[in-house]
Amino acid sequence: MLLGLILLITTLAACLLITHPPVWFPVAITGPAHAFDGQFTWTLWVTGILFIAAQLLLAGIILRRRAANSVPAPSSSGVRASLLAAAAMIAVEVALAAHGSSPLSHATAKNPEIIEVYAHQFAWNFRYPGPDGVFGRVKTEFIADAAGNPVGIDPSDSRGNDDVVVSTLRIPAGRPVRLMLHSRDVIHDFFVRELRTKQDIVPGMEIPLDVLADRPGQYEIACAELCGLAHNQMHGVLLVMPAEDYDQWKLKH
């Protein structure tokens, strides 16, 4: 049967695609990102075995020569086998979940450095508290992109005078950072592939995202939630700097 052969070839092709992938994941630069890679590989093995088994079984049934008009076996065992299949699948899923890290177990860093992320249609801005270590008050009414105040720092609040607003996100390697995500208009999403995570930025909410990057480098920030016309142009840059360089940079600003 042709279909049986096609199933065999498809299964083989899927395996070859995995061993010779056209594209693959980028480097991982945080602890959770490395954990992701481990859990992905584990899931790939588990689902891969199930995939191959099911497709080969189907191909085998189609290709099998059978005696003409063999008497169908009674179906009484069907319910038992079905319950067994359900139990086996639950066992597979327990194996998957047990290998992964619980979503509750996210260790929150002590005293992370706070950096604010501001997203709007269709750009990123990042605010650092400056030498005083305190963010000034922000209000929507003070937002003026052309006048260089894209996050709306209140000029009447002296704590905001030294705040630094830039369009490249710089963070130190090896030190915990907490990004506080803000949007002024619609839902955006902060996605950096090398962090292996993304977080929606919901207007009206302030959502934290903890990052402890272990490898300096320049990475791309993409918006991953449809935010309107130029969604695909909402490009940002994450610069993970050696800690000393980062401190130098902060001193200069």
Partner 1 sequence: METQTLTPRPSLFRRVFSTDHRTIARQYFFLSIFAVITGVCLSLLMRYHLVWPHEKVRWFEAIWSVRAEGGIMTEELYLSLMTLHGTIMVFFVLTLAPLNAFSNLVLPEQLGRREMAFPRLNMLSFWITLVSFLTLLASCVLDEGGPIAGWTAYPPLSAVGAVSGPGEGLGQTLWFVSIGIFCIGSLLAAMNIISTVIECRRPGMSLMQMPLTCWNWFVTSILSVLSFPVLLAAGLLILLDRLVGTSFFVPGDLLIAEQHNPHAGGSPLLWQHLFWFFGHPEVYIAILPGMGIVSHIISNFSRRAPFSYRACVWAPVAIAFLGMLVWGHHMFISGISPYSALTFSLVTMSIGAPSAVLVLNWLGTTFRAARLEFPTAMLFCLGFVSLFVTGGLTGLYLGQPEIDAYFHDTAFVVAHFHMIMGMAALFAVFAATFYWFPLMFGRMLNERLGKLHFYLTFIGAYALFLPMHFAGFAGNPRRYADFTNFDFLQAVMPLQHWITMTAFALGAVQLIFIWNLFSSIWRGAPATANPWSGSTLEWNPDGEISTLGPYSYSNSGSETN
Q: Which of 143, 164, 180, 239 binds partner 1 (CB under 8 A)?
A: 143
Interface size with partner 1, residues (CB under 8 A):
98
Q: Does 7 bind partner 1 (CB under 8 A)?
A: yes
> With contact defined as beta carbons under 8 Å apart, do 182 and 120 qualify?
no
**Distance between CA 247 and CA 174 in Å, rounded?**
13
**Token pair listed for 227:** 């935010």
Q: Which of 98, 104, 147, 251 binds partner 1 (CB under 8 A)?
A: 104
Q: What is the dihedral of CA 220, 43, 104, 106, to 10 degrees?
A: -40
Q: Which of 29, 30, 36, 115 binds partner 1 (CB under 8 A)?
A: 36
Q: What is the dihedral of CA 201, 193, 195, 127, to 10 degrees?
A: -50
DSSP 72-128: PPPGGGHHHHHHHHHHHHHHHHHHHHHHSPPGGG-PPPSSPEEEEEEEETTEEEEEE
Interacting span for partner 1 (CB under 8 A) from 92-100, 126-134, 155-163, 166-174 = 92-100
Q: Does 233 bind partner 1 (CB under 8 A)?
A: yes
Nearer to partner 1, 114 or 202 (CB): 202
Q: Does 245 bind partner 1 (CB under 8 A)?
A: no
Q: Does 79 bind partner 1 (CB under 8 A)?
A: yes
Q: Does 23 bind partner 1 (CB under 8 A)?
A: yes
Q: Does 73 bind partner 1 (CB under 8 A)?
A: yes
Q: Does 56 bind partner 1 (CB under 8 A)?
A: no
**Distance between CA 101 and CA 93 in Å, rounded?**
14
Binding mask 146-165 for partner 1 (x = CB under 8 A): ------x-------------
Q: Does 235 bind partner 1 (CB under 8 A)?
A: yes
**Distance between CA 172 and CA 124 in Å, rounded?**
19
Phi and psi, residue 36, nearest 5°: -60, -50
> With contact defined as beta carbons under 8 Å apart, do 213 and 242 qualify?
no
Interacting span for partner 1 (CB under 8 A) from 73-81, 108-116, 160-168, 244-252 = 73-81
Binding mask 180-209 for partner 1 (x = CB under 8 A): ----xxxx-x-x-x--xxxxx-xxxx-x--
